[in-house]
Amino acid sequence: MGAARLGAEVELVAVIGQDLFGDVAIDLYQREGVGVAHLRRTAERNTGVGFITLNAAGENHIVLDMGANHLLSTEDVDLAEPLIARSDAVLSVLEINPATAAHGLRLARKHGAITILNPAPAQPLSDDLLSVVDVLTPNESELRILSGLPPDDPTDTLELARRLLARGVRHLVVTRGGEGALVISAGADPQAVAGVPVTVVDTTGAGDAFTCALGVALAEAGVADEASVLAAVRFAVYAGALACTRLGVVPALPTRAEVEALRGDHPG
């Protein structure tokens, strides 16, 4: 939905339950212009849901019940290969089986699409998955978990990023909340992109908005080289900032016009 609001043509490959939450999801996707031709429904599991708690500072904690997300298979992805083949970018999260994510990104790489992985919920990942990722977008805690470390491990962020690059990832975009993001590409100096100052109401969905905007910008660029990734991150920090100014996730995902308006007010 975040990508659709930014003007992208979007299709979702997923599994949801035959329950009320699934009905609500399909209605919402259709109203938001998200394609559901590859959205499979099942009676075997419930639709995946998240329970969000928020503190007075607008910081969130999320408890997830993955539900039917666990049933998304490589066979589902194979059925979507014609869609993947004509896509500019393919984005996955880790709310599905990592092997399914790897298969989808491998097909995307085969067909020349840009591959983006938002590694949440974070877990240690195989080289097989990392080697088909053009752009990996962890926050600082997730970066440590991906490396098999505690989320508060003191190891230097740049050192951890370089280890992941050595395992096959082409670009690391480490999100840093209000401080913006750090872009680390193989063979290039790290680049810091400053955050955008806003009044924070709720940080829930900020990472989603950031990743959607990053994907849209890279799809429009048609390439994931150092310059295009950096430009995409500069666009994405505005979307992430806007998401923090509203309560909830879906209501907070910004439109293209809103992102461009904020860029005009805070050029970076």
The CA distance from 259 to 263, in Å, is 6
CATH of the domain at 227: 3.40.1190.20
Name the residue with tokens 């660029």: 221
**Model pLDDT, residue 52:** 81
Q: Which residues contact 151 (CB under 8 A, 6 or more apart)?
A: 122, 141, 142, 144, 145
Total domain count, the chain: 1
pLDDT at 115 exceeding the cut of 80? yes
* 122-155 residue pLDDT tens: 999 999 999 999 999 999 999 999 999 999 999 9
pLDDT at position 254 is 97
Nearest to 263 by CA among 192, 198, 205, 178: 198
For 37-56, the DSSP string reads TTEEEESSSPPPEEEEEE-T
Mean pLDDT, residues 46-73: 88
CA dist list (Å): 58 to 132, 218, 242, 244, 255: 35, 29, 13, 8, 22
Tokens of 171: 């670009």
Any idea which residues carry the catalytic annotation? Answer: 208
The SS3 of residue 169 is coil
Range of the domain at 185: 2-265
More confident residue, 95 or 186: 95
- In the chain, the percentage of residues whose pLDDT exceeds 90 is 88
Q: How many contiguous H segments (helices) and E segments (strands) does the chain have?
A: 11, 12
- pLDDT bracket for residue 62 (50, 70, 90): confident
State residue 49's pLDDT score: 92
Q: What is the pLDDT of residues 14-51, one digit of tens each?
A: 999 999 999 999 999 999 999 999 999 999 999 999 88
Cα distance between residue 16 and residue 28, in whole Å: 13
Q: What pLDDT does 267 receive? A: 81
For residue 54, what pLDDT is reported?
77
